[in-house]
């Protein structure tokens, strides 16, 4: 059995590539949305295959210049990406439970059972890059890295949630001195006659 990377170790390994991974999934999704099958609402039986093909197409181009660190690599029947020679992430459509929507074939069971060696992926931590469509198939609800231990989900990394701090820019503005209430003339009257603005306001209520 291979020694598995922890969630924290995986977070550090993928950190330089997170934005690219997210953009590849979104680009593949947009290609799906513009495809023939999507426009004709032929969801079942075509979406997973088409998304996988679009993902491979986009990811191959996106990671080409950085292929020494991250690259598409198909190890049939598995389709996914190598990251730093340490992780292999299989690209799959999932449900809200994050269970991948595939038949439990021998190869799928082997991928999830870390006690079963897979020669082509020896030394790799085996993970799933899971996208979850909304119920109406108009949007993506989640993009997650999922670590499975047989039928149990051991841990997840929410790539959309991790994107929020990068996308939210809070502009720093130094505190401004409070603006004087009323007109400049009213301020002069207050200084000269000692009139309390709050009393003036109360007296004017109900007029």
Q: Please spell the DSSP secondary structure of 44-95, one letter per residue.
A: TTTHHHHHHHHHHHHHHHHTGGGTTTEEEEEETTEEEEEETTTEEEEEEEB-
pLDDT value at position 10? 97
Give the mean pLDDT of 194-205.
Answer: 44
9-13 — which CB contacts under 8 Å span 24+ positions?
Answer: 10/87, 10/125, 10/127, 10/145, 10/147, 10/157, 11/157, 13/83, 13/84, 13/86, 13/87
The answer to whether 180 touches 191, Cβ cutoff 8 Å, is no
Residue 174 counted as domain residue: no
Residue 173 domain-assigned (yes or no): no
Q: Are residues 106 and 160 in the same domain?
A: yes
184 and 125 in one domain?
A: no
In this structure, the answer to whether residues 107 and 39 fall within a common structural domain is yes
Question: Do 188 and 94 fall into the same domain?
Answer: no
Whether 195 shows a pLDDT value over 60: the answer reads no
In a domain, 175, yes or no: no
Q: Does 172 map to a domain?
A: no
Kindly state whether residues 151 and 186 are assigned to the same domain.
no
Same-domain check for residues 129 and 98: yes
Query: Residues 20, 97: one domain?
Result: yes
Give 71's pLDDT tier (boundaries 50, 70, 90). very high
| Domain encompassing residue 197 | 180-207
What's the confidence (pLDDT) of residue 179?
Answer: 53
Q: Are residues 160 and 197 in the same domain?
A: no
Q: Looking at the structure, do residues 20 and 72 belong to the same domain, yes or no?
A: yes
Contacts of 186 (CB under 8 A, 6+ apart): 197
Confidence (pTM): 0.73
80 assigned to some structural domain: yes
Q: What is the pLDDT of residue 36?
A: 74
Specify whether 162 is located in the same domain as 186: no
* Winning range, highest mean pLDDT, from 13-22, 32-41, 148-157, 162-171: 13-22
Clarify whether residues 151 and 78 are in a common domain: yes
Domain count along the chain = 2
Predicted confidence (pLDDT) per residue in 38-58, tens digit: 766 555 567 888 898 999 999
Q: Are residues 82 and 137 in the same domain?
A: yes
| Backbone phi and psi for residue 80, each to the nearest 5 degrees, phi listed first | -175, -160
pLDDT the model gives residue 33? 86
Q: Tell me the C-alpha distance between 3 and 124, whole Å.
A: 9
Between these two residues, 168 and 25, which has the higher pLDDT value? 25
Q: Is residue 149 part of a domain?
A: yes
Q: In this prediction, what percent of the chain has a pLDDT beyond 90?
A: 40
């Amino acid at each position: 059995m291979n020694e598995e990377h922890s969630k924290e170790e995986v977070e550090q390994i993928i950190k330089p590539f997170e934005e690219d991974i997210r953009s590849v999934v979104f680009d593949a999704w947009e290609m799906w949305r513009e495809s023939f099958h999507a426009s004709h609402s032929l969801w079942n039986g075509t979406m997973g295959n088409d998304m996988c093909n679009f993902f491979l197409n986009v990811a191959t181009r996106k990671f080409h210049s950085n292929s020494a660190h991250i690259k598409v690599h198909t190890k049939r029947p598995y389709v996914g990406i190598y990251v730093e020679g340490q992780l292999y992430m299989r690209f799959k459509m999932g449900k809200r439970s994050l269970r991948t929507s595939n038949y439990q074939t021998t190869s799928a069971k082997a991928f999830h059972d870390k006690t079963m060696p897979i020669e082509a992926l020896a030394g790799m931590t085996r993970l799933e890059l899971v996208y979850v469509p909304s119920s109406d198939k108009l949007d993506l609800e989640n993009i997650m890295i999922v670590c499975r231990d047989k039928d149990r989900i051991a841990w997840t990394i929410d790539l959309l949630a991790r994107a929020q701090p990068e996308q939210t820019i809070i502009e720093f503005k130094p505190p401004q001195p409070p603006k004087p209430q009323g007109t400049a003339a009213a301020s002069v009257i207050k200084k000269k006659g000692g009139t309390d603005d709050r009393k003036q306001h109360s007296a004017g209520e109900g007029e």
